Chains A and B, each alone.
Chain A
Amino acid sequence: MRRTVDARATLSYTGSIVKYLSASMSVPLVVALIYREDVVAFAVSIAIAVAVGAGLERLDDEPDLGPRDALAVVSLAWFMAAVVGAIPYVVAGYGTESALAHPVNALFESMSGFTTTGATATAEISFEQHSHALLLWRQLTQWLGGMGIIVLMVAILPQLAVNGAQLMKSEAPGPGLQKLTPRIAETARALWLIYVGFTAALIAILFVLGLTPLAPEMNLYNAVAHGLSTLPTGGFSPQAESIAAFSPVVQWVFVPFMVIAGVNFALFWYLLRGEPRRMLENTEFRTYLGLVTAFAGVLAVGLFAGGAPATLIGGITEGAAENALRQGVFQVASLLNSTGYATADFAQWDRQTRFFLLFVMFVGGSAGSTGGGIKVIRWLIVAKALYRELYTTANPDVVKPVRLGGEVVDEDVIRGILVFTLLYFLIFALAAVFIELDTARMGEALTGTEAFAASLATIGNIGPGLGPLGPFGSYEFLPNTTKVVMIGLMWIGRLEIVPVLALFVAGIDDR
């Protein structure tokens, strides 16, 4: 039996994925044509990306994937996607003042895009410095990464369908893959169609609103750009002021779509098939909605009572009911499931409200959603498993399976979830310490809380942190070593740690 990864087959599969993924760069190319901007940058980027992809693909004529290789393909494909996605930033920024021209910043921006983190490595977000085309590419990477590039490839490439279930399982957020149809390619297509549907709906609503006096700042470009980064729980915005750049009506429109992005998309499939009960009776769905409502309520009350003293962005919330409610609901809907949009500079809020947001960031979206983080279902199972341990310690003879919504949770799944959660916290804490020490070394000291928030914001694919890394700040000033670590954090955070670590472990022959 082969004990290590089949490198040729793995690279060949990765190459195919990269090759087809680079076709998506033709979208910003068209945008560049429309806005009469630098077309060459994208033409060159596509050429390089296709060449890399095709070159890798050539390594094996008839690649045959085993389970170990599937993990490796997913991990590598995501890394290579980020690498290839970084090319336009470097090429377009070449010879300009743009911070993104630096390869580390470009890779950071690209990884942050594909993993739907939304942390940015450039302090300057404006059309003066970046073209419309480049900023749209930034949005598009989030949209592609949201539902998952592997899911997309399984949906459209027949040669991937054979190993599709294995590949998708490694990519899918949450502890398992829900197969909706007998054929995995159809499941992948169904998920993408729902995703496209919600995206189109949001773009249409935003565009129509922009035609009315209610939202003068909303034009077609903004509607598309924000449509592309809401459903993937992305958080990038071509506006320097994120969603604060838009009127309260627009801000309210974003809220339901952000909440939807954190819901298991398989549930919408059941809803469309006329089985609404499977959605309404889903324990994770109910818990998720309950958490959003409860946290939003608490935060709104906190803001109303004066939890946001600085009024630079977001306005006065103390005693202002609508604004307090809107800021509370928006920030929770955005941060709980790892979107990362902001309508207020919460980095300037007072200690209680900031810490509350940090707490909210730990939750994450649902399994099968586009959200990052630990995920609601894992928290539920961890809580139940811990209760079970305490109970059986007191009653050693009792056999007590863990149940979720009446269904028994398999012991292997529980073990996997406990391991995941432990790894998540371990890596999060180690990285936070590293960030703290590394930034101190460079004289760019972050406070302890800010370092922890930065670690959480990247491994949880959230985006904005606290302090200078807040929603209207940027990660540009951080030392490159820290950025490289954060690129790794975003990568393993999106793939939920295990596939990436398994890639390294599988390479070790432990005979």
Chain B
Amino acid sequence: MHVVIIGAGEVGTSTAASLASDHDVVVIDCDADRTEDLKYQYDVLTITGDGTDSSVQERADVAGADMLIACTDDDRTNLVACGTAKTFGDPFTIARVKSTSYLKTWERDETAFGVDFLVCTDLLTAENIVRVIGLPAAVDVDPFAGDLVQMAEFEIGAESPVADQTVAEADRFESLTFVGIFRDGEVEIPRGDTRICPGDRAVVVGSPESVQAFANDIAPDTTPNDADEIVIVGGSEIGYQTARILEERGLRSRLIEQDGERARWLAEQLPDTVVMEHDATDTEFLSREHVDEADIVVTALDSDERNLLAAVLAKRLGVDRVVSVVDSADYVTVFEEIGIDVAINPRTVTAEEIIRFTFESVAENIAVLENDRAEVLELELDEGCALVGRPIRELVEEIDAKFVIGAIVRDGEHVTPRGDTVLRPGDHVIVLVETAFTSELASMA
């Protein structure tokens, strides 16, 4: 595959690094020092120039490229680069943006800006933070269909309320499906009368809200709920998106922002979040507002130094869990060594998302479970494929493979699959399948 990457920053470099071994990679950056470094570091071709310039793109042979990844730090550069690329041919274009407003525009029409896939850094990071703080009990969490559906794997302890219940008893949530139970290293496809034993690992697929509610049900002590205190320090875009997603999940947080105008804007956008205007590194303020009693503190300030200070302060005050956004990938380990529970780097998150997308695979999206005993796939159904047009009950009886359909995304809406649900072309189905049958099932989509 011929891949053109525009922007040789952290995201571009790590994407190039992971693609270089299997693909022909061309990296464009306007900084000659960076391209020079990269040329010797990895087996890639580098071009120094403006990635939005059509003559530069011509030199990079965008016309013959299979994929173009625009991942500079500037939103507009990335969008223009993708638009320019589409004038040469039809490479699959991926753009990285920070602003969620471009994402909204793109979601209205997925050909907007000539972009085929848009990665929104700040939103992605915020979703990541919410997964980390929202589902601490989960062994594994993966988003599907643009975070409309989540897969989560939970270990069932002896004291869990669902231990020794049947699946039918434990499944109390409308848009949640039990797709698999791992017991003694074997995957079991759950039926309504399957009993959940302590020590099992249960895999559920459903809307993020229902997964959250389920987590609350099986692990009430560790899963945050209304009563838990979540404090977000810093009203950066990531802080804002985190608070917004928490609101969507029904969790109220407190958001501390120092700048008056920004605080006002945040308070206007977030009706269910308490926005406070103060310096979050003021210890007197932190103890006055009982931040020490918070269950979770997220630091999302604009600089790593201040994030570190705020995170260390929160830890010292005795906060249970501190999650920190770290702008520079180099400091991630430093943060975690100091005792910050989770350090999240937006660029790493972005690079992972892009790389995940560039892997050629049978499915749109894939998650591997339990040393590859089972996989959760997201399949887009084509017109006339074998799965379309029949009720799920018939498919299950007919197809000789161990699989469970966990969720369907139809026209951007989550649909809970039931025995009589009929699949349609264009549906995205999220399905758990025993690894041995993966290719068989994928070939039917």
Chain A residues packing against B (C-beta within 8 Å): 395, 397-401, 403, 406, 408
Contact = CB atoms under 8 A, between A and B. Distances in A.
Given A395-B276, A399-B267, A400-B267, 7 more contacts: A397-B276, A397-B285, A397-B289, A398-B274, A399-B266, A399-B277, A401-B268
Contacts of A399: 257, 260, 263-264, 266-267, 275-277
A398 B276 contact: yes
B271 interface: yes
A406 B271 CA distance: 8
A398 to B, nearest CB: 5
Contacts of B260: 399
B271 A403 contact: yes
Contacts of A397: 276-278, 285, 289
Interface string B257-296: 1001001101110010011111000000100010000000
**Size band of the interface chain B makes with A:** 10 to 19
A401 B277 CA distance: 13
Interface in B141-159: none
Interface in B390-412: none
Contacts of B267: 399-401
B87 to A, nearest CB: 36
Interface in B230-272: 257, 260, 263-264, 266-268, 271
Interface in B299-352: none
A395 B276 CA distance: 9
Contacts of B289: 397
25 contacts: A397-B276, A397-B277, A397-B278, A397-B285, A397-B289, A398-B274, A398-B275, A398-B276, A398-B277, A399-B257, A399-B260, A399-B264, A399-B266, A399-B267, A399-B275, A399-B276, A399-B277, A400-B267, A400-B275, A401-B264, A401-B267, A401-B268, A403-B271, A406-B271, A408-B268
Cβ-closest 4 pairs across A and B: A397-B276, A399-B267, A408-B268, A399-B263
Nearest to B254: A398
A115 B94 CA distance: 64
A397 B278 CA distance: 6
Nearest to A410: B268
Contacts of B275: 398-400
Contacts of A395: 276
Contacts of A401: 264, 267-268
Contacts of B263: 399
B126 to A, nearest CB: 20
Contacts of B271: 403, 406
A400 B277 CA distance: 10
A398 B266 CA distance: 11
Contacts of A406: 271
A395 B275 CA distance: 11
Nearest to B278: A397
B141 to A, nearest CB: 31
A401 B260 CA distance: 12
A152 to B, nearest CB: 37
Residue from B260, B263, B268, B278 with most neighbouring chain A CB atoms (10 Å)? B268
A397 B285 CA distance: 9
A397 B284 CA distance: 13
B415 to A, nearest CB: 26
A400 B272 CA distance: 11
A80 to B, nearest CB: 43
